[in-house]
Amino acid sequence: MTNPDQAPEQTSPRLTISNRADAVGLCNRLNDCITSMTEVLSNETNLLQQHNTSGIEALQSEKLKYTQAYLKDFNLFKEHAALVGSQAPVEVNNVRKILGAFNTTLQQNLQALAAAKSVSESVVNVIAEAAREAKAGPTCYGANAHVGVEGGRRAAAIAVDRKF
């Protein structure tokens, strides 16, 4: 909980970079955030590969939190890139390395998501086709060359539970 007696700059990261300490602090925050995002994406990928969708929803708030923090710090990083690069070159290099690992994890996650989406689309298509066939009614001819028997068509209902 934030202490109301503390000044705002003590309770939240600095929004400007003016010296080495600020640059190093920004790089460290980015490293921590990227590492956390990598862990969350790795967990999500594992859950997707195990077809365990119940745990995926719980990860969404964490993903959002880390994404927002990353975007805030990355924009600050871009705004002060020259200063950060000159004041904290080793830390900037560490950010690059951690981003490389994050990109690998992100690609694995995207592949797992694409596979899950493909399976979901296939299931929905099979269900939709079965519903169309059920709704079509009989395919035989009746009296006077009419197709089927009056009232032979029946409704087909599909229910989709979007909650995992």
**Residues 6 or more apart in contact with residue 48 via CB below 8 angstroms:** 56, 109, 112, 113, 115, 116
The predicted pLDDT at position 58 comes to 86
Instruction: Give Cα separations from 136 to 124, 125, 149 (angstroms).
Output: 18, 16, 12
| 45-74 pLDDT tens trace | 999 888 887 788 889 999 999 999 999 999
Q: Which residue has the tokens 């994890």?
A: 105
| 91-144 pLDDT tens trace | 999 999 999 999 999 999 999 999 888 888 888 888 878 777 766 555 566 667
For residues 68 and 36, give the distance between their C-alpha atoms in angstroms, rounded to a whole number. 12
The predicted pLDDT at position 162 comes to 56
Question: What number of CA atoms fall less than 13 Å from residue 131's CA on the CB side?
Answer: 11
- Does 164 have pLDDT greater than 50? no
Q: What are the counts of helices (DSSP H) followed by strands (DSSP E) for the chain?
A: 5, 0
For residues 109 and 45, give the distance between their C-alpha atoms in angstroms, rounded to a whole number. 5
Q: Which residue has the higher pLDDT, 149 or 7?
A: 149
- Does 154 have pLDDT greater than 60? no
